[in-house]
Amino acid sequence: MKKARKVLYTLILILCCINLSLAQEKISDLLRSNTIQLKEVESYMKSNNIAPLSCEEDHEHGSDVGNLRKGQAFGPSLKPIHAIYVFNVYFHILNDNNGYREVPITEDDILEAVSILNKSFNSFNIFFKYKGFGSINNTWRSVVYLGGNRTFNQLVEYTKGINKYRSDSFNIFIASSIRRSQYDQTRIAGVANKPGINSVIDDEYLLTSTLPHEIGHNFNLFHTHHNWNKNNCELVRYNDFVEDTPPSVAYSAEDLSGGCSSELNEVRNKCGIEIRRVPSSNFMSSNVMPCRSLDNALFTEGQGKRMKLSIQQEISPLYMSIQNSVESLYEPYQGNYDKVVIDESDESENHNGNFKFQKGFDYEFVDCDDINEVEESFTKDETPNIHPPYTAIKILQISKDKAFKCHIPVENEEERERTVINFGTIISNNYTVYKIKYESSKEKEFYKKIPVGYNLIKSKNKEGQMVQKMIYKSQ
Ligand SMILES: [Zn+2]
């Protein structure tokens, strides 16, 4: 009887373990079969109680006391604290040799990723400009290992070797999986150079809080529990070298009492510091759902300050080469201004140049002359697909007062049409409306075509405003 019970318990235990790994595996199955979308991964984890994978940072600084001063503070900055930083971002999709990958990635997914980065970093005046994506078809490279062969840094070097690396952008690699080593196949959600401009992310985690987390490492942020386990009490006290993140430890969902209250079940003590709470909704804390999700995760002001000082003091020599202008954010990532056709005879929106602007911002398309007059607006989750002629663009996250890039369509030489209202020789309620075709370069030809008498001519001037003029044509 006793033995039977033991067998039963063992069986239940095994089933539980299988269940847990099944849940992990299931996400990729669901993504493969298109049952869930990448942006639904977090909510799927939440509702199915799946613990997300952890992350590894690839340190260059700050791992010992000698680097303490460097990590702690960077001194006053000469650059204005309100400076706006725009960084290019480029994505590498890692595929099998034949171009196949189990979890499909679309451009929409990648634009969603750029939008997530902007939403997470914009409050610190750090912006991201989408520069596109490319594929690397190499089965051997599509899985990244922390140790041994096929490491992340080797992948970066390989990408440089085949001329696919982008030295003008953050390089974000999307891998089919990241594992500790050939011998320890434990999966990891992401790895980032710290500081640096390269990171790799497990494809399932592309649209989760892991993405801003990795870029946080790129901007020189540590985990909030970074120094917790160090023997040196000075390091333990400095923690992650950020003033407003409380001393923390690594933890799992079971360690938290009452969901995301951030309170620990068990008080930890080290170097005389009592840890009762952890910043469970911080992007740089342990990944525990639903506490660290895109819905509620954030960086603190102190982390924002550390990131900006790291950029200003060029903690990574590469930050400079991947910056772009503020104006670049006002350029569509798709579309052609030369293809815009203005047709005065048609009031419908047939003047589209196939524009697409990256989402993640609040846009207003305003009158070029009166920038308080809004003609079209789009919210953060919408992709603006027009740039109405004679409007300029406001991105409210950058400035509520400044509008850039007034769109004045190029006049083309095609045949066009003006509305002419002819009254004859006396201006009265009797009139006839004509639509008269003309070529913009041949104004004289137009006047030859209009009827005798008083004519009210309606046309658009170069600024796009409707203007009317009355002319009298004699016999
Ligand atoms: Zn990390």
- pLDDT tens-place string over residues 410-456: 766 556 788 999 999 888 889 999 988 877 667 778 888 899 999 99
Amino acid identity, position 2: K
User: How far apart are the CA of 194 and the centre of ligand 1, in A?
Assistant: 10
User: How far apart are the CA of 55 and the centre of ligand 1, in A?
Assistant: 4
User: How far apart are the CA of 341 and the centre of ligand 1, in A?
Assistant: 49
User: How far apart are the CA of 435 and the centre of ligand 1, in A?
Assistant: 67
Q: If you average pLDDT over each of 32-36, 129-133, 178-182, 434-438, which comes out highest?
A: 129-133
User: How far apart are the CA of 41 and the centre of ligand 1, in A?
Assistant: 19
Q: Which of 115-119, 376-380, 408-412 has the lowest mean pLDDT?
A: 408-412
Q: Mind listing the pLDDT tens digit for each residue in 162-173?
A: 999 999 999 999
Q: Which of 331, 333, 346, 411 is nearest to 130 (CA)?
A: 333
**CATH 3.40.50.300 is held by the domain 36-322:** no
The confidence score (pLDDT) of residue 15 equals: 43
52, 289 contact by CB (below 8 A): yes
Q: Which of 177-186, 370-379, 381-390, 444-453 has the lowest mean pLDDT?
A: 444-453
Band of the pLDDT at 18, cuts 50, 70, 90?
very low
User: How far apart are the CA of 180 and the centre of ligand 1, in A?
Assistant: 14
Q: Which of 130-134, 388-392, 434-438, 453-457 has the lowest mean pLDDT?
A: 434-438
User: How far apart are the CA of 389 and the centre of ligand 1, in A?
Assistant: 45
User: How far apart are the CA of 240 and the centre of ligand 1, in A?
Assistant: 12
Distance between first and last Cα of the chain: 119
User: How far apart are the CA of 223 and the centre of ligand 1, in A?
Assistant: 6
The confidence score (pLDDT) of residue 63 equals: 44
175, 191 contact by CB (below 8 A): no
Share of the chain above pLDDT 70, in %: 86
CA 77, 78, 83, 85 torsion: positive or negative? Answer: negative
412, 344 contact by CB (below 8 A): no
The confidence score (pLDDT) of residue 17 equals: 41
User: How far apart are the CA of 214 and the centre of ligand 1, in A?
Assistant: 6
Band of the pLDDT at 247, cuts 50, 70, 90?
confident
Q: Mind listing the pLDDT tens digit for each residue in 58-111?
A: 655 444 444 455 544 555 555 566 789 999 999 999 999 999 999 999 999 999
Q: CB-based burial of residue 188 (10 Å sphere; 0-12 exposed, 13-18 middle, 19+ buried)?
A: buried
The confidence score (pLDDT) of residue 344 equals: 55
The confidence score (pLDDT) of residue 148 equals: 84
228, 240 contact by CB (below 8 A): no
User: How far apart are the CA of 57 and the centre of ligand 1, in A?
Assistant: 5
User: How far apart are the CA of 202 and the centre of ligand 1, in A?
Assistant: 13
User: How far apart are the CA of 224 and the centre of ligand 1, in A?
Assistant: 9
Q: Which of 176, 180, 181 is nearest to 205 (CA)?
A: 176
Band of the pLDDT at 346, cuts 50, 70, 90?
low
Q: Which of 58, 66, 60 is nearest to 232 (CA)?
A: 66
The confidence score (pLDDT) of residue 412 equals: 60
User: How far apart are the CA of 218 and the centre of ligand 1, in A?
Assistant: 10
Beta bridge partners of 199: 172, 192
The confidence score (pLDDT) of residue 74 equals: 52
Q: What is the mean pLDDT of the chain?
A: 86
User: How far apart are the CA of 51 and the centre of ligand 1, in A?
Assistant: 15
- List residues, by chain if needed, whose CB lies under 5 Å from ion ligand 1: 55, 57
User: How far apart are the CA of 318 and the centre of ligand 1, in A?
Assistant: 20
CA angle 284, 132, 168 (to 5 degrees): 75
Band of the pLDDT at 14, cuts 50, 70, 90?
very low
User: How far apart are the CA of 174 and the centre of ligand 1, in A?
Assistant: 16
User: How far apart are the CA of 59 and the centre of ligand 1, in A?
Assistant: 10
The confidence score (pLDDT) of residue 12 equals: 47
User: How far apart are the CA of 213 and the centre of ligand 1, in A?
Assistant: 6
Share of the chain above pLDDT 90, in %: 57
The confidence score (pLDDT) of residue 11 equals: 46
User: How far apart are the CA of 160 and the centre of ligand 1, in A?
Assistant: 25
Whether residue 461 is predicted with pLDDT greater than 80 in this model: the reply is no
Q: Which of 162-171, 187-196, 239-248, 296-305 has the lowest mean pLDDT?
A: 239-248
Distance (Å, whole) CA 205 – CA 105: 12
- Name the region of 27 (left: φ>0; alpha: ψ -120 to 50; beta: rest): alpha
User: How far apart are the CA of 132 and the centre of ligand 1, in A?
Assistant: 25
Distance (Å, whole) CA 249 – CA 254: 13
User: How far apart are the CA of 102 and the centre of ligand 1, in A?
Assistant: 25
